[in-house]
Amino acid sequence: MGGVRAKGFHMIVGRLIGVSLGPGDPGLITRAAWAQLERRDTVWTYPTRSTRTPSYAFDIVARAELSPPAEHLPLLFPMTHDEEKLLRSWHRAADTVLPMLQAGRDVLFLVEGDASTYATFGHLARTVKARDERIAVDTLAGVNAFNAAAAALGQPLGEQDDTIAVVPAAYGVSALDRLLPEFDTLVLMKVKPLIEDLLDWLQRRELLQGAAFIERCGAPDERVLRGAEMLSLRGQKVSYLSLMLVHSHLRIRGERIRGCLKKTSPETSDD
């Protein structure tokens, strides 16, 4: 499970492993992730938004009663859309983990949700690989927040030929309007900055009844609001770890191809 031998070298380099933890319920940590977290020969790293903000990913493993190894440390990834600031944070994080990897240590990067879905891990992995191509990167798949949210609501994300769009809400309601004719379900991620606009939009498009709001899904302080209950969010503080599921009645259903059914011509038919 340790590092890998670099070609042409006798030196062993470590692996950077993105460990998906699910959205908040420790019971959703996969067996593969759990096995990595039980190792004592790794370094844990985990994202935090500021020096004053605890890491939500670290909180998940703490609630799972998994003890960290001797070395574990936060990596700062500020909440900003400033590309220069984000680039600096990725390089600072790479500066921290690369010496450990080059010394032969495996480094786990703990990720809430799934490491391949709107996660910081991809940026860190690319930055590290650009610095030292010998470093191997593993990504352990996890449960997405919107999958867990659908389960918590007792509603399917999609059935049969339903279409689903996963969209950062920051694109705005005009972009969502364009998606309504094409998709049965909209998964709106990162709704905090536009919560008031989204509530207005849901009312205006008569979509409120088929919508739900889920905050910190799976955590002890999880909050779920359905339909008109969501209007109580006006003027309230909303966690960054929030999303909406919107089931639309405005999807335009065109002609569908029914799969790979073999067609029999009249000449060859047995009828």
Residue 266 lies in a domain: no
Query: Is the CA virtual torsion 18, 20, 21, 24 positive or negative?
Result: positive
Domain of 11, CATH number, reads 3.40.1010.10
Q: Which amino acid is at 253?
A: R
% of the chain exceeding 70 in pLDDT: 88
**pLDDT, greater one: 113 or 270:** 113
156 and 133 belong to one structural domain: no
Burial 133-150 (b: 16+ CB within 10 A, else e): ebbbbebbebbbbbbbbb
- List the one residue out of 178, 245, 256 whose CA is nearest residue 207: 245
Question: Contact, 201 vs 211, CB < 8 A?
Answer: no
List, for residues 216-270, the tens digit of each pLDDT value.
Answer: 999 999 999 999 999 999 999 999 999 999 999 888 876 666 655 455 545 444 4
Instruction: Kindly report the average pLDDT of the chain as a whole number.
Output: 89
List, for residues 166-183, the tens digit of each pLDDT value.
Answer: 999 888 899 999 999 999
66 and 114 belong to one structural domain: yes
> How many structural domains compose the chain?
2
Distance, CA of 36 to CA of 107 (rounded, Å): 10
Residue 269 lies in a domain: no
| Mean pLDDT confidence for 79-94 | 80
- 105 SS3 class: coil
Domain of 236, CATH number, reads 3.30.950.10
**pLDDT, greater one: 202 or 50:** 202
Cα separations (Å) of 66 from 36, 39, 60, 140?
11, 10, 9, 18
230 and 213 belong to one structural domain: yes
- 41-50, 93-102, 137-146, 250-259: least confident range: 250-259
147 has a pLDDT exceeding 80 = yes
> Residue 201 belongs to what domain range?
146-247
pLDDT confidence band for 5 (50 / 70 / 90): very low
CA 238 to chain centre: 18
Residue 170 lies in a domain: yes
- Order of strands, sheet of 136-140, starting from the edge strand that comes earlier in the sequence: 72-76, 42-48, 106-111, 15-20, 136-140
83-102 and 121-131 are packed helices; what angle lies between their axes, rounded to 10 degrees? 60
**pLDDT, greater one: 1 or 36:** 36
195 and 164 belong to one structural domain: yes
108 has a pLDDT exceeding 90 = yes
- 32-41, 75-84, 147-156, 188-197: least confident range: 75-84
139 and 151 belong to one structural domain: no
Residue 20 lies in a domain: yes
Distance, CA of 14 to CA of 135 (rounded, Å): 7
User: pTM for the complete prediction?
Assistant: 0.85
- List the one residue out of 18, 2, 175, 191 whose CA is nearest residue 109: 18
List, for residues 185-194, the tens digit of each pLDDT value.
Answer: 999 999 999 9
pLDDT at 261: 47
- Identify the domain boundary among 120, 143, 166: 143
- Give strand ranges (E) for the chain: 4-5, 12-13, 15-20, 42-48, 72-76, 106-111, 136-140, 164-168, 185-189, 211-215, 223-226, 242-247
- 21-25, 93-97, 219-223, 265-269: least confident range: 265-269
9 has a pLDDT exceeding 60 = no
